[in-house]
Chain A
């Protein structure tokens, strides 16, 4: 059973650009959540996908969007990047909703 893999590990973007972050979950993990972790803070919930449908959303604007694919991979897309979007983005997957989570190592996004 492989872990959760995120790509890229680091990324630098310019304000106003768009970015796509990717997460490859463990086989059979049909629930994936995305979190934003600013420096020195705990992660904040962005949204969750269950069987390719959005299943809950945190307090993030619509320019944060996502997709989940049948092969247990998912994407986080952020449009019109702002400086405050600079953070570590984590994905976490689980086999059954509410069961134990497996976290990826994160993508560190820097917006300049």
Chain B
């Protein structure tokens, strides 16, 4: 079982829909990252969370440390939101590595 699990693996939505992507992890973490990866491969950091909730434009990220769960929400989705969204956690102690989920491929149709 992977240390970081994302669901769903694939998600297709119509423009304007509210999107939720979930991330569960099984290890102690000091921070959780939500990342966006476009087909070219480059990764953009969207949020870094250690507690609570963050909002940036139409994107909202929440984390529940007790339940080891985080969600990324996209309001009023748009075709340009189509990308792979990846959850990654920085584990406690040891090296500073990130452990990644496999990603959720989002396609927003016009």
Which A positions have Cβ atoms within 8 angstroms of B?
31, 33, 35, 37, 40-45, 48, 50, 55-58, 88, 90, 92, 97-98, 100-106, 108
Contacts and interface: CB of A to CB of B under 8 A. Distances in A.
Q: Number of contact residues on B: which range applies? A: 20 to 34
Interface of B: 4, 30-31, 33, 35, 40-45, 48, 86, 88, 90, 94-103
Q: What's the dominant secondary structure at chain B's contact region?
A: strand
Most central of B30, B35, B90, B95 by chain A CB within 10 Å: B95
12 contacts: A31-B96, A33-B97, A33-B98, A37-B41, A43-B98, A43-B100, A44-B100, A48-B96, A90-B41, A101-B45, A102-B45, A103-B42
Contacts of A105: 40-42
A41 B95 CA distance: 22
B42 A101 contact: no
Most central of A41, A43, A102 by chain B CB within 10 Å: A43
A103 B43 contact: yes
Q: What's the dominant secondary structure at chain A's contact region?
A: strand
B42 A45 contact: no
Nearest to A50: B96
Contact of A42 (B48, B86, B90, B95): B86
